[in-house]
Chains A and B, each alone.
Chain A
Amino acid sequence: MVTLELNEVGALYGKRLVVSGVTTPAMTAGEVVAVIGPNAAGKSTLFKRIAGLLNGPGEVCISGTEMAGKAIGYMPQDTSSNAVLTVYESVLLARKQGSAWSVNDADLVLIDHVMTALNITPIAFRDLGALSGGQQQLVSVAQTLVREPDIMLMDEPTSALDLHRQVEVLSFMQNQARQKNMIVLVAIHDLNQALRFADKVLLIADGKMRACGAPLSVINPEMLREIYGVDARIEKCSRQFDHVIVDGVDA
């Protein structure tokens, strides 16, 4: 069972330390962790550091995986592409790296299943450049899933999706985390979705970790006032999901 733990993790852009001192308790297989924080807080930078795309101090401790180098699947924030490739080819690309040109049926079967599950088979042979922002995001989710990682880092995967698709995708990712024993970290701005789907919430602001724990222990009126500058309360909706209700914005 895979676990992920951050120990005093920081991230460097060139020589500038953009994120520092992120320490978390162990995240375990099957968990969905929402990474929240205001714009430019350092969420994307932290993801890049965890994915190994940026250097920095501290330790990203991953244990319980045998997939050295493929344990982490990272879905970047910018999913747009004008490459003259079909959706199917681009998803295959995520699966196939290395020097062998041949494509085996097992790879194609997996791609077909992921695309069907995400309901993007109708656009399978459309060019990437012809897709809407939301469709490109779904394709990016598919690309990350077919790599079958143990840990998924999804940087704002639902920002371009309509409400229905947001709930669908996050629910799907929650199921995937449970069924495939993955750890799913989702950077997200919608705190209601974080409250609904996350098992833990990691709050980042000004490049530093402010809190990490159960959703309601992190997302509370005090934090919303201090970090987001809003007067808000948490209430249960008719289906008993916790919900942030914003009463006003601090002057």
Chain B
Amino acid sequence: MAVADNTILSEVAATGRGEYRARTRRKITILVGLGILLCLTFCIDLAWGPARYGLDQVILALFQPDAVSAQVRTVVWDIRMPVAVMAIVVGAALSAAGAQMQTILANPLASPFTLGISAAASFGAALGIVTTVPLLPVAAGLIVPVNAFIMALVATLFIHFVSQTRGVAVQTVVLLGIALVFIFNALLAFVQYLASEQALSQVLFWTMGSLSKATWPKIGITLAVLLIALPLFARNAWALTAIRLGEDKAASFGVNVRYIRLETMLVISLLASVPVSFVGTIGFVGLVGPHMARMTLGEDQRFFLPGSALCGALLLSVTSIVSKSIIPGVIFPIGIITALVGVPFFISLILSNVRRSW
């Protein structure tokens, strides 16, 4: 190997690390930009609705509540704020969960929605609503979210262990996920068939996905789950990135691939099921958010993870605005909008995967 003399070698080398540092700075700038954009959509979400306010009024209501009228204060803080915050928290949670599923399953089509985890959580929640039978002995008020979590966990572990089986191809895992969607949808239909009229309307809420019933305690729990999950993922950032290079290679870097996969899957099941248990099935955010982050930031988890969370939050925040804008005075269930946007994206992903790998 012809090695250049030391001066030339140092110059070339300096260019390499200089470029790396410059690219890192660019990625941080993009993350900050996404954060600023999210603040903007959050304010627009608060301003938008049957009564429309200017951004100046919203900012005033946020930072000097006494300076605006009681009506503006009530609408911004009590009516729109929980929905706007829930959109951000749920979007971030679902997108971060999708990003990590795609990472550890090495599958661009993986997300809590496409692999049946959301459907499993919906079934668990419906079981709680209709039969009031807890899958774990918990307080009456927690039956629905705990049932949703248990079913999501079962689905996640099923996907995890099948994906670990020798000889199971990446495409097989996606097909199994689709099979899970069908199974849990059938079980959900069965529960709906047995449900009382009142319970049925509550179950329907899950299948549509809506932020309109967001409350501060629900936001608090979802945010707590997100704030527990993100540092756990962040701690394994290098290892998770290495897994994208292949199992053997990651193991050769000293990564305990089996342990990291299992831990990540468990956290994903929590991250994917809790939002679903509160706001219902909101599809495709966990699919689209990570791809937006991947296209702009790459797959270094130090940027990909916060990027995915921010993109998911941004996506659902924008969708929340759109859901109020289609017909003035009517707020559409947000799950309908994400599906309308997500399905074409899903199809384009499948088609692009036929042509080349992701």
Contacts and interface: CB of A to CB of B under 8 A. Distances in A.
A81 B245 contact: yes
A70 interface: yes
B3 A76 contact: no
B253 A124 contact: no
Nearest to A88: B20
A18 interface: no
Q: Quick one: which of B12, B15, B249, B300 has the most chain A CB within 10 A? A: B249
Interface residues of A, number: 56
Is chain B's binding surface mostly helix, strand, loop or mixed?
helix
Interface in B341-358: 357-358
B248 A78 contact: yes
Given A82-B357, A93-B242, A108 B249 contact: no
A83 B1 contact: no
Nearest to A168: B1
Chain B contact patch, size range: 35 or more
B196 to A, nearest CB: 49
A119 interface: yes
B358 to A, nearest CB: 6
Contact of B4 (A90, A111, A116): A116
Contact of B249 (A105, A115, A143, A175): A143
A89 B300 contact: yes
A109 B1 CA distance: 19
A86 B13 CA distance: 16
Interface in B205-247: 234-239, 241-242, 244-246
Interface in B17-74: 17, 19-21, 23-24
B254 interface: yes
Nearest to A90: B245
Contacts of B16: 88, 108, 111-112, 115-116, 121, 124
A99 B235 contact: yes
B245 A83 contact: yes
A77 to B, nearest CB: 8
B19 to A, nearest CB: 6
A129 B255 CA distance: 22
B254 A69 contact: yes
B299 A93 contact: no
B248 A53 contact: yes
B86 to A, nearest CB: 29
Given A76-B246, A93-B241, A116-B13, A124 B252 contact: no
A97 B12 contact: no
A108 B20 contact: yes
Contacts of B294: 84
Contacts of A171: 1
A116 B252 contact: no
A161 interface: no
A108 B20 CA distance: 9
A85 interface: yes
Contact of B357 (A73, A129, A140): A129
A85 B244 contact: yes
A241 interface: no
Contacts of B248: 48, 53, 74, 76, 78
A117 B252 contact: no
A53 B251 contact: yes
Q: Quick one: which of B15, B234, B237, B238 has the most chain A CB within 10 A? A: B238
A97 B14 contact: no
A81 B244 contact: yes
A97 B358 contact: no
Contacts of A113: 9, 13
Contact of B17 (A85, A89, A109): A109
Given A88-B20, A105-B17, A116 B244 contact: no
A76 B255 CA distance: 14
Given A78-B246, A78-B248, A125 B19 contact: yes
Given A81-B244, A103-B24, A117-B1, 8 more contacts: A51-B252, A53-B252, A81-B246, A82-B358, A113-B13, A116-B4, A116-B12, A168-B2
26 contacts: A14-B166, A74-B248, A76-B246, A76-B248, A80-B246, A81-B245, A83-B245, A84-B294, A93-B253, A96-B238, A97-B253, A99-B235, A99-B237, A101-B234, A105-B17, A108-B17, A111-B16, A113-B9, A116-B9, A119-B1, A119-B2, A128-B245, A129-B357, A143-B253, A168-B1, A172-B1
